[in-house]
Structure 1
Amino acid sequence: MPIEDEDKAIAEVVERVAEKFPDVEPEVVRETVDAKVDEFEGAAVRDFVPVLVEHEVTDELRET
């Protein structure tokens, strides 16, 4: 996946997660997503990073 496509997909993840958790500040959602994306740095296959990040961030925010 080209980096531009991944960046767009990550921006969409931020929007979807922010909609699911309106009580969480958008900046917190963005920071949480960015932190999860960083965990996948160096991954050989990047196509599923946005999906994995969305699932992990959603799970993390549900626990708080």
Structure 2
Amino acid sequence: MATAFDTKIRTSYAATGCTYLSYGCAHGWHHVNTDWAVLEPVAPTTGRPRRASDPTRC
């Protein structure tokens, strides 16, 4: 698809209540659209919020 349209493909994360929560970058990270939402990263194993110093990459 990227070749057909001569563009780069990026990912995004959305929900019904906020259709533009975050967008993906070339480095594989997601950046939160902080004008519209607050996202709280949680640890995948415990479901508990991560500390601000913890990396949020899953």
Please give the TM-score of this superposition, normalised by the length of structure 1: 0.25
Identify, as 1 or 2, the structure richer in helix: 1
- Structure in which a larger fraction of residues adopt strand: 2
In the superposition, the TM-score normalised over structure 2's length comes to 0.26
